[in-house]
Chain A
Amino acid sequence: MNIKEIQIPTFLKRIFNGRNTVISIPYLWLLFLFLFPFIIVLKISFAQPVLAMPPYTDLLKWGESWWPTIQASFDSYLFLFSDSLYIHAYLSSLKIAIISTILTLIIGYSIAYSVAKAPTQWRAILLMLIILPFWTSFLIRVYAWIGILKTEGLLNLALTTIGIIDKPLIIMNTDLAVYIGIVYSYLPFMILPLYANLEKMDMSLLEAAADLGCRPLKTFWTVTIPLSLPGILAGCFLVFIPVMGEFVIPDLLGGSETLMIGKVLWGEFFYNRDWPVASAVAIILLAILVVPIMFYQKSQEKAIS
């Protein structure tokens, strides 16, 4: 009796010491509200849709026996692979994400490189001008482009007034509008890691290359680019991964032919109310993205430590 009374508190004390309690607060929060929901998505992706609330069948059936029978159904996944719409949507998202990541990298690199080379007293203000749109609402920034790209919008108005074109360009509701929207919205995500990297670059290496007779362009390709690779990778991950599941931009700027998996998922959930299929769409998207996400995590950990 006595021994028990002493042993249990010390055992508990070891688990619930101050250090572990502090760790457990954010840990449990994320486990419960970030990781646990994915297990539920996985579970529901194996269910079948029914007309009820919630609109899916239960995986575990409690019958006569003590043990529940598992009723897993692969219908949602089979459906995804049988209907070419979904495969097209994944491939089209991949294509849009890759092309827009490359475009954002080219534009972002020129801006980040120029900011890093600007006179020191300008840099702080230039950097703030890059961060400012990053804090401004995504939805508002995408909305701003509708007025510009519309057939009767400001871009066509300006171009016809100058006389460059006589028939309005059709950009709105095409893939081109989606690319413009993505590059515009994600540009700060690309510039910030690139700038952080380029700013720290040891300029004496570039001087050394120049002193040894290396042409500026060759120095750029053989010294600057390889040295800024961590920044390039971080920026590309920050653009590529979320763009794969982008919903707002293809929905507002894209047309009916613009297929992106984020839009498909949204439609399955809100319009078709087929929760198992929406869950299966999410699980497959997650499976595609899990490797890039892990690479991103590794690169960020290395950058901070």
Chain B
Amino acid sequence: MKKFGNFNIVALVVGFSFLYIPIILLILFSFNESRLVTVWGGFSTKWYVELMQNQGIKDAAWVTIKVAFISSTVATALGTIAGLVMTRFGNFRGRTLFSGMIYAPMVMPEVIIGLSILLMFVTLAIDRGMLTVTLAHITFSMCYVAVIIQSRMSSYDDSITEAALDLGCTPFHTFRLITLPIIMPAVVSGWLLSFTLSLDDLVIASFASGPGATTLPMKIYSMVRLGVTPEINAVSTILVGLVTLGVITASIIGRRQKNTN
């Protein structure tokens, strides 16, 4: 086999620079004294101080966290069931439709999902607000969880479940005592992915949300439309930092789990 050559090194250096330079610059300029994004005016944390005094952003952040927490928890429960149904329930009537409804939301343009779910809420005369955003987020997040669970189940040893059932364990107890502990890392990463998907979503939230339920991405979007400010850089840096921390924690948990298995 050809060795890891110069081409590979160049591809990795250029590729990772492309992926990371914009984020690094974004973080760097959140500590800029100057209001201009291109002129370095010295180190300062004043934009973070200003951020803490911005009630609009704080309210939006609180709404976002509540929506993300509830939607990721419900989505993880529903998605885990859906993933098990896809892998352990064999053929049932309407299976193709079910798998279509799991895979389609992952690639479907967000404007279509947002518009359709909003029109349904309007038709059923459900007031738009935090509830509707949460319902919309559960719906697309659960599909990601289902796929994560599904790929975890493909390397799952069925004989343990069969042994438990043979020994008289009920299906529910088998799930709770045997299957769930084994697939727990996948469940946790499904929850984390749902949480960040909900935290990041702008388009679907813009459609599904109503007055009083402005989420953080919606708030950031309206600020970006008015112009680039270091304050947006500061709020972005906090979000990037939180997500990085979450991903690293998740991968450490995953690795530890792998080592103990």
B206-245: CB near A (< 8 Å → 1, else 0) gives 1100000000010011001000100010001001100110
Instruction: Kindly name the residue among B78, B108, B115, B251 whose own CB sees the greatest number of chain A CB atoms within 10 A.
Output: B115
Contact B217 A289 (CB under 8 A): no
Residue of B nearest to A148 (CB): B22
Among the 9-residue stretches B4-12, B53-61, B159-167, B176-184, the one with 4 or more Cβ atoms under 8 Å from chain A is B4-12
| Chain A CB within 8 A of B119 CB | yes
Interface residues of B in 97-121 (CB under 8 A from A): 97-105, 107-113, 115-117, 119-120
A40 — which chain B residues lie within 8 A by C-beta?
116, 119-120, 123
Per the bound structure, the CA–CA distance linking A34 and B202 in Å amounts to: 18
| Chain B CB within 8 A of A135 CB | yes
Contact B115 A248 (CB under 8 A): no
Contact A245 B23 (CB under 8 A): no
Assuming A41-B115, A135-B196, A136-B23, what are 4 further A-B pairs, CB within 8 angstroms? A113-B8, A133-B19, A136-B239, A139-B220
Contact A143 B236 (CB under 8 A): yes
A89 — which chain B residues lie within 8 A by C-beta?
none
A3 CB → nearest B CB, Å? 28
| Chain B CB within 8 A of A74 CB | no
A210 — which chain B residues lie within 8 A by C-beta?
1-2
A265 — which chain B residues lie within 8 A by C-beta?
111-112, 115
A157 CB → nearest B CB, Å? 6
Q: Which of B107, B115, B135 contacts A242 (CB 8 A)?
A: B107
28 example contacts (A-B, Cβ-Cβ < 8 A) are as follows A20-B92, A22-B89, A26-B85, A29-B138, A33-B136, A34-B101, A34-B104, A38-B116, A40-B123, A41-B115, A111-B11, A118-B12, A119-B4, A133-B19, A136-B200, A137-B199, A137-B217, A139-B202, A139-B220, A143-B228, A144-B26, A147-B25, A147-B37, A216-B2, A245-B108, A247-B111, A265-B115, A300-B103
Q: Which of B16, B97, B120, B154 contacts A304 (CB 8 A)?
A: B154
A-B CB pair tally, cutoff 8 Å: 252
B19 — which chain A residues lie within 8 A by C-beta?
129-130, 133, 184, 187-188
Instruction: Kindly name the residue among A20, A34, A184, A289 whose own CB sees the greatest number of chain B CB atoms within 10 A.
Output: A34
Contact B116 A144 (CB under 8 A): no
Given contacts A114-B8, A187-B19, A247-B203, contact A136 B107 (CB under 8 A): no
Contact A37 B117 (CB under 8 A): yes
The secondary-structure label for the interface of chain A is: helix
Q: Which of A36, A126, A294 contacts B12 (CB 8 A)?
A: A126
Residue of A nearest to B24 (CB): A144
| Chain A CB within 8 A of B142 CB | yes
| Chain A CB within 8 A of B38 CB | yes
Contact A242 B12 (CB under 8 A): no
B255 CB → nearest A CB, Å? 8
Q: Which of A41, A137, A293 contacts B108 (CB 8 A)?
A: A293
Residue of B nearest to A238 (CB): B107
Per the bound structure, the CA–CA distance linking A74 and B181 in Å amounts to: 54
Residue of B nearest to A107 (CB): B15
Among the 9-residue stretches A4-12, A64-72, A76-84, A278-286, the one with 4 or more Cβ atoms under 8 Å from chain B is A278-286
Interface residues of A in 145-204 (CB under 8 A from B): 145-148, 150, 152-154, 157, 184, 187-188, 203
| Chain B CB within 8 A of A102 CB | no
| Chain B CB within 8 A of A275 CB | yes
Q: Which of B117, B147, B150, B207 contacts A33 (CB 8 A)?
A: B117
A257 — which chain B residues lie within 8 A by C-beta?
none
Contact B236 A140 (CB under 8 A): yes
B73 — which chain A residues lie within 8 A by C-beta?
none
